[in-house]
């Protein structure tokens, strides 16, 4: 009796893989393992995504981790931004529950009284002793707690103390006022700093250029001294090279033909030609030769072994 060979599942898988590879349907997005994406006619298409089933807990949220492709769950966020409540999730309904808890601590940032939770609200508590130093809302006045939970302005602080939001605001007779005159902008690369009524402004330090067009002379902000820094010559694009000549300055030239570049389409092969990034065709099996060759050999080996075993079994039964 003639032996009849029965194709194995491995042989069928190998044939399907070869067919899809020839069609150019290759994986084009390795960073998201939750999506099945393939190159089809030079375009990266999403064929399907991982579905994460409900774990049965209404207080969790299921999601797919793109780095592993595995489904996970995280607790459902329940937070009302109120320090005087305890926030939980109802395990039966999945609803967030905010329970008033006057035992919680809270902070009103009041230097003249403690803070306590009462009825789910943060309110002033016990006042501190009268005469306790505090900072009132007036930056040019000192303050003292009045024993009833309030900070009361007292007397002017030191004259000419900086106040407000800049070096050109100073205290004068208890009032924060703008002034003109010398100041310090905290920049070592400026001189003659002066308040112009709005801001502290200085004159930038001028650094004389040298004869080398491949250096730039600038003020070092750490010591205020002029120094020479190498000129950075940017290329015109991916397929360009840049260099600097001390007598001419920056120059660019086309990159060597065949140099690597990308049009940011993972489904095309790209290279530099005459200074331009050119797509030379859709991605083929050649671009993934090492990995795909190993996969092909494994599948074919399994297929051939399965076919051989199937043939032996059929002959022995015949």
151 and 116 together in one domain: yes
Strand partners, 71: 64
Do the domain assignments include residue 142? yes
Do the domain assignments include residue 270? no
The count of structural domains within the chain is 2
pLDDT of residue 263: 87
Cα–Cα distance measured from residue 135 to residue 112, given in angstroms and rounded to the nearest whole number: 10
Q: Is the pLDDT of residue 308 over 80?
A: no
Per-residue confidence at 27, pLDDT binned at 50, 70, 90? low
Do the domain assignments include residue 103? yes
**Tokens coding 104:** 């919680």
Do the domain assignments include residue 279? no
Q: What angle do helix axes 289-317 and 9-22 make, rounded to 10 degrees?
A: 150
Q: Is the pLDDT of residue 10 over 90?
A: no
Do the domain assignments include residue 42? yes
Q: Which of 169, 112, 106, 120 is nearest to 140 (CA)?
A: 169
Question: Using one digit for the tens of pLDDT, what is the confidence trace for 134-189?
Answer: 988 888 899 999 999 999 998 888 777 778 766 788 888 888 888 888 888 889 99
Residue ending a domain, among 156, 190, 211, is 156
54 and 119 together in one domain: no
pLDDT of residue 165: 67
95 and 55 together in one domain: no
113 and 46 together in one domain: no
pLDDT of residue 184: 85
Q: Is the pLDDT of residue 213 over 80?
A: yes
β pairing state of 133-134 and 121-127:
unpaired
Q: Residues 240-250, buried b or exposed e (16+ Cβ, 10 A)?
A: beeebeeeeee
Do the domain assignments include residue 1? no
**Which structural domain range is residue 114 located in?**
77-156
Q: Which of 2, 4, 16 is nearest to 303 (CA)?
A: 16
pLDDT of residue 18: 36
Do the domain assignments include residue 85? yes
Residue ending a domain, among 156, 179, 201, is 156
Question: Using one digit for the tens of pLDDT, what is the confidence trace for 66-114?
Answer: 888 899 999 999 999 999 999 999 999 999 999 999 988 899 999 999 9
Residue ending a domain, among 134, 156, 178, is 156
List phi, psi (to 5°) of 241: -115, 150
Do the domain assignments include residue 33? yes
pLDDT of residue 101: 92
């Amino acid at each position: 009796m003639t032996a009849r060979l029965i194709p194995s599942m491995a042989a069928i898988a190998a044939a399907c893989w070869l067919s899809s590879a020839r069609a150019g349907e290759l994986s084009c997005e390795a960073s998201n393992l939750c999506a099945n994406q393939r190159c089809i006619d030079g375009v990266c298409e999403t064929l399907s995504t991982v579905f994460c089933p409900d774990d049965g807990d209404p207080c969790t949220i299921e999601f797919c981790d793109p780095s592993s492709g595995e489904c996970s769950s995280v607790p459902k966020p329940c937070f009302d931004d109120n320090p005087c409540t305890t926030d939980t999730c109802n395990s039966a309904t999945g609803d967030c529950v905010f329970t008033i808890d006057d035992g919680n601590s809270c902070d009103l940032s009041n230097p003249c009284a403690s803070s306590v939770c009462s009825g789910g609200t943060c309110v002033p508590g016990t006042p501190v002793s009268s005469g306790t130093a505090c900072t009132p809302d007036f930056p040019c006045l000192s303050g003292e707690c009045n024993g009833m939970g309030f900070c009361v302005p007292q007397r002017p602080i030191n004259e000419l103390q900086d106040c407000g939001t800049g070096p050109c605001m100073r205290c004068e007779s208890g009032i924060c006022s703008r002034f003109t005159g010398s100041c310090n902008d905290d920049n070592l690369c400026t001189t003659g700093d002066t308040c112009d009524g709005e801001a502290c402004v200085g004159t930038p330090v001028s650094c004389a250029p040298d004869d080398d067009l491949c250096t730039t002379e600038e003020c070092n902000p750490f010591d205020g001294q002029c120094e020479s820094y190498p000129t950075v010559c940017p290329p015109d694009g991916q397929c360009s090279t840049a260099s600097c000549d001390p007598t001419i300055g920056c120059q660019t030239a086309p990159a060597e033909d065949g140099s690597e570049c990308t049009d940011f389409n993972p489904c095309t092969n790209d290279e530099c030609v005459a200074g331009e990034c050119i797509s030379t065709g859709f991605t083929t099996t050649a671009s993934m030769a090492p990995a795909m060759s190993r996969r092909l050999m494994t599948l074919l080996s399994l297929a051939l072994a399965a076919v051989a075993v199937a043939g032996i079994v059929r002959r022995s039964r015949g």
